[in-house]
């Protein structure tokens, strides 16, 4: 972990930082940041650093997209910036934001091109999708985005409890109450906590049977 990052994150108990090249927000990409970084001059400075000597498990992982748009695919450059740690690929371009299908073929290509672990990301909604992505692309693991929103039971399926696909409405109500309570505690103020909680309500309500 770099020294400036340590200064900010160690007091919070963090032991690892993730380098993110996945942000597609225009105000970030316009300045060459986020998913625009791998195609910018800054990336050659980063990737020309000598390889890290730290054990792989201690190196900083990276998360990135395919590239800026279909004409600017930068995942390989971003993979090299990752310096042999491991990378997570959100298999959409920044231009796609969250729409369209994720390209699992690109995950397979990146896995073939890099000699280190790749996590695939995009369009995993059920546990079976994760297994399918791993077998069809050869990736080493997965990152689940929208599919896991307000669905902790998805992880119960990975733990082998396949009877627990969707919670009942009562269970969702209990979970929502706990979530709201924890957010109010986190923000130390009811108004802030409840405002934050509002954006999770739809996800919770979609996730019941």
What is the number of alpha carbons within 13 Å of residue 157 lying toward its C-beta?
A: 17
Among 9, 46, 147, 173, binds ligand FMN (CB under 6 A): 147
| Tokens representing residue 199 in the block | 């954006």
> Per the residue annotation, which of 12, 23, 58, 153 is the catalytic one?
23
Give alpha helix (H) positions in the chain: 3-9, 26-29, 41-47, 75-81, 104-113, 127-137, 153-158, 169-187, 190-198, 201-206
Q: How far is the CB of 179 from ligand FMN (least distance, A)?
A: 14
Residue 122 within binding range of ligand FMN, rule CB under 6 A:
yes
Is 58 labeled as catalytic in the residue annotation? no
Question: Taking CB under 6 A as the criterion, which residues in 61-90 touch ligand FMN?
Answer: 63, 90
Report CA-CA distances (Å) from 164 to 41, 172, 178, 205: 49, 13, 19, 17
Residue 22 within binding range of ligand FMN, rule CB under 6 A:
yes
Cβ closer to ligand FMN: 91 or 172? 91
Cβ closer to ligand FMN: 22 or 167? 22
Task: DSSP letter for 16, please.
Answer: -
Residues at the interface with ligand FMN (CB under 6 A) = 20, 22, 63, 90, 98, 102, 121-124, 143-147
Active-site residues, by number, are: 23
């Amino acid at each position: 972990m770099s020294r400036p990052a340590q200064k900010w994150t160690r007091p919070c108990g963090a032991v690892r930082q993730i380098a993110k090249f996945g942000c597609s927000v225009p105000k970030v990409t316009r300045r060459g940041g986020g998913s625009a970084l791998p195609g910018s001059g800054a990336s050659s400075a980063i990737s020309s650093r000598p390889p890290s000597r730290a054990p792989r498990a201690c190196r900083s992982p990276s998360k990135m997209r395919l590239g800026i748009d279909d004409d600017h695919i930068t995942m390989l450059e971003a993979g090299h910036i990752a310096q042999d740690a491991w990378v997570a690929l959100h298999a959409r371009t920044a231009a796609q934001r969250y729409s369209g299908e994720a390209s699992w073929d690109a995950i397979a290509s990146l896995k073939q091109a890099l000699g280190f672990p790749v996590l695939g990301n995009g369009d995993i909604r059920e546990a079976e999708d994760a297994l399918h992505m791993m077998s069809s692309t050869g990736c080493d693991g997965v990152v689940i985005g929208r599919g896991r929103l307000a669905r902790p039971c998805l992880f119960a399926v990975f733990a082998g409890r396949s009877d627990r696909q969707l919670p009942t409405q009562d269970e969702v109500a209990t979970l929502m109450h706990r979530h709201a309570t924890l957010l109010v505690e986190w923000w130390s103020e009811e108004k802030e906590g409840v405002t934050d909680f509002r954006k999770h309500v739809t996800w919770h309500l979609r996730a019941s049977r």
